[in-house]
Chain A
Amino acid sequence: MPFDASTPRPTLLAQDLSLTYGGPMIVENLGIEVPTGEISVVVGANGCGKSTLLRALARLLKPATGAVILDGHDIHRQSTKTVAKRLGLLPQAPRAPDGVLVSDLVRRGRYPHQHLFNQWSASDEAAVNLALELTGMDEMADSSVDELSGGQRQRAWIAMALAQDTPLMLLDEPTTHLDIAHQMEVLDLLQELNQTEGRTVVMVLHDLNQACRYASNFIAMADKTIEAAGHPSEVVTPELIEKVFGMPVIVIDDPVAGTPLCIPMARSGQKERATASV
């Protein structure tokens, strides 16, 4: 059946995690606990290991040391299908096969729940219909994914991840290549899914202010590990952002959401200000 509150609440955490692709360590001695039922957003400079962390949390990368613990057990000791029913991942900038229809794409999300002779059960159909409805893609179910706008396309992919019907959803930069309106559209959708469906969301975002606005758990990565994690209004400070991005900012209240708003200071501007204040 589509996601319901009776499924056991997921727990996801990592202990003493070190990650590498064979070369230098990308993440070292990282510990994280994903708060259930909340939106966690990972931010950090390019190449700081955000995506790598997300891949490790989704069982796509075996840790060099430490472990990812899903529902109390080492994720690498669980079968791939068990994990796939608890945790879904939407990779960065996914590419759909040429000419594939939205409904076809979303149906593929049911793979972990299907078997050779059981490929379209009533619950498959219900989950796909619900995913299309929640993302507002039901009208476009028979359109080709190629013909959609960027925002619609991303919604189609999110519908696919929704059809997988996992209480935990990991998304790697779900807003890349989208214009600002489509970015907000996607983030609003994810927030709505979190609030109405109680799904735990972990995503990597590039935009600091969007992270502040949508996260209830703000995770900042620097120096191959987590620099700070917590509610954005508590952890986002000019010092933290300067440490993470090496860029001075001032932090004010977002006039719309009331969350922290980081405004970058150009280095030259900062110098002028510094001299002016002396």
Chain B
Amino acid sequence: MSLAINAPATGTMAAIAAGLVLVGFALRLSELLPTRRGAIRAGPISGLFQWRVVWLTLGAVASILGLMAVGLIVGDFPVSARDALRTALWDRGGEFDFIVNTLRFPRVTVAVLAGMCLATSGAIFQGLINNPLVSPDIIGINNGAAVCAVFILAVGGNVSLLPYAAFVGALSTAIVIYILAWKRGVSGSRLVLVGIGINALLAAVITFIQVRYPIERVAAAARWQAGSLFGANWEDARTLIIGIAILLPLAFVLTRRLRILQLGDDASAAMGMRVERERLLLIATGSGLAAIAVAVVGPLAFVALVVPHLARLLAGNITGGVLILTALLGSVFLLGADLIAQRLFAPTILPAGVVTAALGGPYFLFLLARYNRAI
């Protein structure tokens, strides 16, 4: 029995190691990509794109499809690759239907979508504040969601309300931060400082709820707080798809204005931008994206911080194309993290948030060290 469990685990360990090597290889390879730009012009429509971003985007899509396939195939219950893909794609039903289409497929789908939301949100905040060390989790948006969610779990409220509560918590936190940071306009650094203060306050509230309520309910809350894709279902995926359908195109459109806002308030205003209105729109979009992801998968750490930075490293400063690449890399990161979380200590399953933090933490330190050297 134990052999039956351990044998696939060794295989997946090797697969994970191979995956990491591949990621490193891909990073090296990306340095060889062309830096040329191309222009599209057709009548009144025109645009500029970087070939590098095109190739990287294709690579990211391929990685997502590959990792999704792996996510459908591997797991505690052995399903052959052929059976898994067949059941998921063209021959639904059959003996593996429950495993593949109820447990695994929604899970990888939610990982793709939530990764997109978190990474895009991070890219918006980092661009807006002109600082690669900022993300919605650092300025308190995630904890805002967590306070509401933890409260519902701790008082034993209706669990189906949880995503909505988390969403409301995240958005109201964003509004409070924006209002408190307002002083004849909102400057980026004040937003961060106020956000860090609010974040600390919210963390204290969460701790208070945890010591105030019975331990067995608090345990559920703690589990949610780690961030996990466990038990993800199609309902979750639908929630995310609706949010993404609205917010991702909005983020894409706003990127053009974000690029101008990055030059400073006076320069943007002189270029004909209504600075505060655009900034508010960007903050709302970024918070909304973080909010829907946190509402569904919990406050997954570091995705929003690390992925936009990685995208910038690969493809340069933010453009519409880089934003899309960031979103896709978010999916890759979360899919990979969840696979590791599931298989690393199989049959013990870690929450994906533990893995994103374990990967993101060291990367954050690397970032700090790099940043220090640059200054």
Contact = CB atoms under 8 A, between A and B. Distances in A.
Interface of A: 21-22, 55, 58-60, 79-81, 83-85, 87-91, 94-101, 104-105, 107-109, 111-112, 114, 116-122, 124-125, 142, 146, 160, 164, 170
24 contacts: A58-B269, A59-B269, A81-B272, A84-B271, A88-B270, A88-B271, A89-B270, A91-B267, A91-B270, A94-B267, A95-B130, A97-B130, A98-B130, A108-B263, A111-B260, A117-B46, A117-B47, A119-B256, A120-B39, A122-B46, A125-B39, A142-B35, A146-B374, A164-B271
B316 interface: yes
Contacts of A105: 263
A112 B271 contact: yes
Contact of B256 (A81, A84, A111): A111
Contacts of B217: none
A98 B367 CA distance: 13
B373 interface: no
Given A60-B269, A96-B263, A118 B45 contact: yes
B250 to A, nearest CB: 12
B283 to A, nearest CB: 18
Contacts of A83: 272
A121 B41 CA distance: 7
B122 interface: no
Contact of B272 (A97, A111, A125, A170): A111
A109 B260 CA distance: 8
B271 A119 contact: no
B253 interface: yes
A118 B35 contact: no
B317 interface: yes
Contact of A84 (B259, B262, B272): B272
A22 B184 contact: yes
A89 B267 contact: yes
Interface string B106-131: 00000000000000000000010010
Contacts of B274: 80
A266 B73 CA distance: 84
A43 B260 CA distance: 29
Interface string B225-269: 000000000000000000000000000010010011011101101
Contacts of B132: 98
B270 A60 contact: yes
Interface in B292-332: 312, 316-317
B266 A55 contact: yes
Given A98-B130, A99-B312, A104-B316, A119 B46 contact: yes
Q: Which of A21, A89, A107, A119 has the most CB of B within 10 A?
A: A119
Contacts of B270: 58-60, 84, 87-89, 91, 170
Interface residues of B, number: 32
B94 interface: no
B281 interface: no
B320 to A, nearest CB: 8
Contacts, number: 102
A101 B317 contact: yes
Given A55-B266, A89-B270, A117 B317 contact: no
B343 to A, nearest CB: 36
A60 B275 CA distance: 10
A91 B48 contact: no
Given A58-B269, A90-B267, A101-B316, 10 more contacts: A22-B184, A58-B266, A84-B271, A97-B130, A97-B262, A97-B263, A109-B271, A111-B256, A111-B271, A114-B256
B273 interface: yes
B267 A80 contact: no
A120 B317 contact: no
A94 B263 CA distance: 7
B17 to A, nearest CB: 32
Given A59-B269, A95-B264, A96-B263, A122 B41 contact: yes
Contacts of B130: 95, 97-98
Contact of A119 (B47, B263, B266): B47
Interface in B161-213: 184
B44 interface: yes
A219 to B, nearest CB: 20
Interface in B8-22: none
B200 to A, nearest CB: 26
Q: Which of B44, B127, B256, B267 has the most CB of A within 10 A?
A: B267
Given A97-B130, A98-B132, A80 B273 contact: yes
Interface in B23-66: 35, 39-41, 44-48
Given A22-B184, A94-B263, A120-B41, A99 B317 contact: yes
A11 B317 CA distance: 37
B179 to A, nearest CB: 18
A250 to B, nearest CB: 37
Nearest to A80: B272
A19 B175 CA distance: 31
A104 B322 CA distance: 13
B195 to A, nearest CB: 20
Nearest to A88: B270
Contacts of B184: 21-22
Contact of A116 (B127, B253, B260, B316): B253
Contacts of A116: 253, 256
B266 A100 contact: no
A121 B127 CA distance: 25
Contacts of B317: 97-101, 104
Nearest to A92: B266
Nearest to A105: B263
Contacts of A114: 256
